Amino acid sequence: MITLFFILFFLIFGNILGFAFRAAWGVFRIVLSVVFLPLIILGLFFGGLMTVAFPILIIVGICSLAIRKC
């Protein structure tokens, strides 16, 4: 009986754990694209690496236009 309890326990909380990882990954992608990418590009720009910052900005802009979710 206790074995059945542990099996059900791990099945239920395993599903919840999987959902938590998927939700955390979604939040991480949003934070990365909204916060960190502009900070990295601004850091490159003000650090004098404009030749690196502009191509990154152009590539990210084209990708965001091409992979737009409506």
The residue whose two tokens read 């939700």 is: 23
Say yes or no to pLDDT of 70 above 60.
no
| Cβ-Cβ contacts under 8 Å for 50 (sequence gap 6 or more) | 44
Amino acid at 43: G
59: enclosing H helix or E strand:
helix 50-66
Q: pTM above the 0.75 mark?
A: no
User: Which sign does the torsion angle of CA 15, 21, 27, 30 carry?
Assistant: negative
- For 32-58, the pLDDT digits (tens) are 878 888 888 888 778 877 788 788 888
Closest CA to 44 of 31, 56, 32: 56
